[in-house]
Structure formats: C-alpha cells, structure tokens
Chains A and B, each alone.
Chain A
C-alpha cells in the first residue's frame, strides 16, 4: 500500500506539471502569436486610444509572467473570462455543452467496443483463416476512411436514402430518451466505425497468445463449450492492452467528436469551439482549448491509475525503473 501511495504521488506530481505546461501553452498562444487581442476586439476602424483603453482594461501592457499568474488565478477559481459574442461567462457556456459531447463519446466508445470485442475474439480464435483475414482486411480499409467521409456515407445511406434516422439535429433528453438517442446513433456510429479498428487489433493479438496458455487447454479438455472458454476464460486476461488503448484513444476520439458534432449539428463543445474560431471569439477559443486539454490530461491520468490497479506489474516496473 505504501508503494502504491508513492506511485500515485509521483503520477499526481506529473499530472500537475503537465497541467501547468498546458495552461502556459494555451496562455502563450493568445499572447505571443501575431495580432494583438486588443486590436482584434476593438475592430478594424477603432482609434488608437480605444485600443489602448482595451489593453489597459485587459492588463495587456503588464509583464507576461505577472499576467499569466493572475490569469491562472482566475482560471483556478473558475473564471475563464467572458465571451465577446454572447457576453456569457466562458465556463458556463462550456459546461452547458458538456453533456452532449460526453453522451456522444460514451455512445461511440460503447459501439466501438461492441464491434471490436466480438471481432477481436473471432479473429484471434480463427487466426490465419479466411474469417480472420477478411475481418482484418476490412479493419485495415476502415481505418483509411476519413471520419467525415464515413459520416457522409452513413448520412447518405441511412438518412437520405433509407430515411431510417435523422441526418442532423439534436433533441434534448427531456423530450424522450428514444428521440434523443435516435439523433446520436449515426454520429456515434461514424466515430465507432473508425475507432474499433485498433481495439480489435490489440484484442486479436492478445487473444492469440492467451489461447496458447495451458489453462485454456485445461478448460477445453474439461469439455466446456468454446464460447464459454472464449468469453469467460480468455477475454479477461487478453484485455489489458485493450484498456490501455481505450485511454490513449480518447485524444483521437475528441478530435473525431469535434468534426462529427459539426456534420450532425450536435450542440457540443466541438461545435462551440469551431464556431468560436469562425467568430474569432478569443476567450471562448482559449477556454475550449484549456478545458479540453485539461480534461484529456486528467482522463489519461485516471486511465493510468486504473490500469496499474488492474495490473500490478506496472507498479513494480515504475518502482524499479
């Protein structure tokens, strides 16, 4: 237990360091890159005095380091600034969009697993056969389809031609769970159809090595049905890499969700982010980048910790290495 506390402490210190680096990078982006924010806010026709006044108001004429520290203080207390466009606090706006993005990410990951687990198990069990080859080739082709192309194909087939599901639009959960879910099926499927590939691949290769173990032979020779052996005996020891990949994938997933929210007009954080970019809403963009990056770092930290709880070897390696 002492060891694991020490291990957690070390991981946590690293988390703090990375979060600080992320905030610094986000802050510097606004401050050092071309075009002063004050000119941007004042607009093209503003007089120099107006720009000066805005600079004064935002504290832009102070030392960068001092500004960073005071900005960080505001951020920690939850004050991300106000949107130029809507004049609402940035953090409120982000938090109000959060449920949509989370629902999309969870549904997408769920569908990806629903595809990857059976496919990975079958591929591993029937390794080097026709089934394995066709599954793996399909996976290889799938990962080469850009996510926005996949989304358009799905819209074309299921929304425009078959008219089974809506092409765009979001219905809040309060209007009925089914209506809400209907709008999420195609977006989540678009992400899942790309994301299941790495999951399936690692499960397949881990499955192949697990199936060579003696305890599988033992289970088989007891006369247990194949499906029982595969799902009950082989799946769990084969899923460590799968769980790691699930964590690593989240960054990729967030990027995918961003594009998908735009295509399907879902009012999530990704859509807020991109529309703020178009509107040149600086604080909103900064807030979104910061929020997404910090959330991502924290999720990765949690996955790391969770993984080391599952597999003691990681803790030992960290201690020795």
Chain B
C-alpha cells in the first residue's frame, strides 16, 4: 500500500510557485463541502438513507416521489419529495445516501491515516534517532508488514476481526504504519546529526526532550503532507472493500457499496452507479491535488521518500 501512496506523491508541478492557486482552493472547497454534507446530513429534512420509495426504484434524477416522513409527534406522514439525483435499485434517495456515505468515507479516510501518522511517526522517529538494535528491530518489523500486498493483508485482518467501521479503521490504520514510519525515519535521519541537535545535547537536554522539542517540529510537516496522499488512498481502499461487500456492513450507506449496488442496473440506469463513482473520484482527486500543491509549496525532495 505504501507503494501507491508513494506513486501519487511523485506529482506533477510545472511551476513551483510560493502561493496556493486554484489547484489547492477548488479541491479544498470540495472537501469542505463533502465534509459539511456528511456532518449535517440529518439536519435538512433528507429522507433517511435506508428509507425506500417503493414506487420509484432506480428512478432518474429529478423524479417526484412520495416518502414517509416521521413527524415529531411520532406519526408517519406521506410527503411529496423530489429525488434530486434519483434513487437506487431499492428506491432509496441517492442524495441522502451520498451524504450519509460521506460520513463513512471521511471517517475511514481521516482517522485511519491519523492512527498511522501517530504510531508510524513515533516508531519512525525512534528508529531514526536510535540507530542501533532498536532501529533495526523497528525497520525489520515494518519490512515484514510491507512484505504483504496491502489489500490481501487488509482482507485477512477484516476477515478474522469481522467487518465493521471500527475494525476497518483499525486495520487500515495498522496498514499505513510502515509507510509513515519510513517517512518519519528518513526525515529524522536528516536532522539527527545537525548542529542544533548537538547544541541541544551540549546544553544537557535529555534525549526524550530533544526528540519532542527539536526533531518533532521538523518531521511533522512532511508527515502531514504525506498523510493527505494516504487519505486519498484510504478512501479508495474503503470503497474497494465496501464494493466487494467486505467493508462497511449493509445497510449503512457507503459510496463503495452504492457503486456495487448499481452494478445490476448498469445498462438501464447507469446513474445509480455513476453518481457515487463520480463523487468518489472528485473526492480522491481533491485530496491528491491538495497534497500535490502542498508538496510543491515545500519544494523539497522529501515528499518522494
């Protein structure tokens, strides 16, 4: 898995400008929009994501339908509702499922790399700072994990742990640790022998505080830039697992699951699959573009580790 995250980091930047342009702000706006939709999904009177409109299965965008809304009194009331992006094969509103699905995609996409960032960062900094036996053990363990093709290891972990959002996040988090560890180690190595570290040593600072106060601030930026590219990859992986039916268990809406459900009617009503596909593509592209812009801004070779 580290491989592909690395691939996407070997980005294309023609002009290394010092300002963030459209290639940063437009994708950033999209991510904020998706995150906002996900967080506030339950606030705008959208039908529940698993509410079925039996009269309108796989309806085209803009179809008018009747949905049952639960009033605050607890009574169900039929209400006219326009399915802006149509419905899926079971008549569930696509807008609503996209918004609720964003929760899963972003939760997995943001928390899993967070776990990798923290664990991998700590291990990598130790491995880079203590280059003796401890460093060798850490590097060796990480190499063993990297020896598994990512998706295979992930499927194995979710198979034995059972599929749920929580387990998925843990498994994906573990999977990203080696890559983060490498980035942190390589960056630590470049700083460990620098003069300011020697100065801190000469001043009698202990090693723990050198690691935290001197090295961490220098290592954290390249790690965060790298994390953005991992986020994009995590969203794809979560999508792939849900697509295979091994990720987020149904009926929780997830983009990958929506794409898979639309496969049956791909010929007659392609929008059922294609709308979530497009949303996922835009989100992944956005994270890649943001990561690439930030990397271009830093203008160093560190991003290519």
Residues of A within 8 A of B (CB): 17-18, 21-22, 25-26, 29-30, 33-35, 128, 133, 136-137, 139-141, 143-149, 152-153, 155-156, 160, 197-198, 201-202, 245, 248-252, 254-255, 258-259, 262, 273-274, 277-278, 285, 288-289, 292-293, 296-297, 300
Contacts and interface: CB of A to CB of B under 8 A. Distances in A.
A21 B280 contact: no
B192 to A, nearest CB: 17
Q: When A and B form their complex, which 10 residue pairs have the shortest distance between CB atoms, in order from nearest?
A: A255-B151, A21-B144, A33-B160, A198-B7, A144-B285, A251-B149, A149-B277, A136-B12, A254-B149, A144-B284
B281 interface: yes
A22 B147 contact: yes
Contacts of B236: 146-147
A185 B3 CA distance: 25
B30 to A, nearest CB: 12
Interface in B122-148: 140, 143-145, 147-148
A75 to B, nearest CB: 16
A197 B9 CA distance: 12
Interface residues of B, number: 52
Nearest to B162: A34
B12 to A, nearest CB: 4
Nearest to A161: B267
B159 interface: yes
A149 B246 CA distance: 17
A201 B12 contact: yes
Given A18-B147, A25-B144, A255 B288 contact: no
Given A33-B161, A252-B1, 17 more contacts: A29-B156, A139-B12, A140-B288, A143-B8, A148-B240, A148-B259, A149-B277, A198-B10, A250-B149, A251-B148, A259-B243, A262-B244, A273-B155, A277-B159, A289-B156, A293-B149, A296-B149
Contacts of A35: 160
A274 B160 contact: no
Interface of B: 1, 3-4, 6-8, 10-12, 14, 140, 143-145, 147-153, 155-157, 159-162, 232, 236, 239-240, 243-246, 256, 259, 263, 266-267, 270, 273-274, 277, 280-281, 284-285, 288-289, 292
Contact of B273 (A33, A152, A259): A152
Nearest to A14: B143
Contacts of B161: 33-34
A145 B147 CA distance: 25
A251 B150 contact: yes
B266 A152 contact: yes
Nearest to B255: A146
28 contacts: A18-B143, A18-B147, A26-B156, A29-B160, A133-B14, A140-B289, A144-B281, A146-B240, A147-B236, A156-B270, A156-B274, A160-B267, A197-B7, A198-B4, A198-B10, A201-B7, A245-B7, A251-B149, A252-B7, A254-B152, A259-B240, A259-B244, A262-B244, A274-B155, A274-B244, A288-B152, A289-B152, A289-B156
Nearest to A24: B144
B123 to A, nearest CB: 16
A201 B153 CA distance: 28
A273 B256 CA distance: 20
Given A30-B160, A156-B270, A258 B152 contact: yes
A100 B266 CA distance: 26
A146 to B, nearest CB: 5
Given A144-B288, A152-B277, A258-B152, A249 B3 contact: yes
Contact of B3 (A21, A140, A251, A273): A251
A26 B58 CA distance: 43
A277 B155 contact: yes
A224 to B, nearest CB: 29
Contacts of A33: 160-161
A125 B192 CA distance: 40
Contacts of B144: 18, 21-22, 25
Contacts of A274: 155, 244, 246
A121 to B, nearest CB: 16
Contacts of A255: 1, 149-152
Contact of A258 (B3, B145, B151, B270): B151
Given A262-B244, A274-B246, A293-B148, A285 B267 contact: no
A148 B239 contact: yes
A156 B266 contact: yes
B148 A25 contact: yes
Among B148, B232, B245, the one with the most A-chain Cβ atoms within 10 Å of its Cβ is B148
Nearest to A33: B160
A149 B288 contact: no
Contacts of B148: 22, 25, 251, 289, 293, 296
A38 to B, nearest CB: 15
B160 A34 contact: yes
Nearest to A296: B149
A145 B278 CA distance: 9
B51 to A, nearest CB: 26
Nearest to A30: B160
Contact of B281 (A146, A273, A277, A278): A146
Contact of A152 (B6, B8, B263): B263
Contacts of A160: 266-267
A251 B14 CA distance: 30
Nearest to A198: B7
A149 B259 contact: yes
Nearest to B278: A149
A137 B23 CA distance: 12
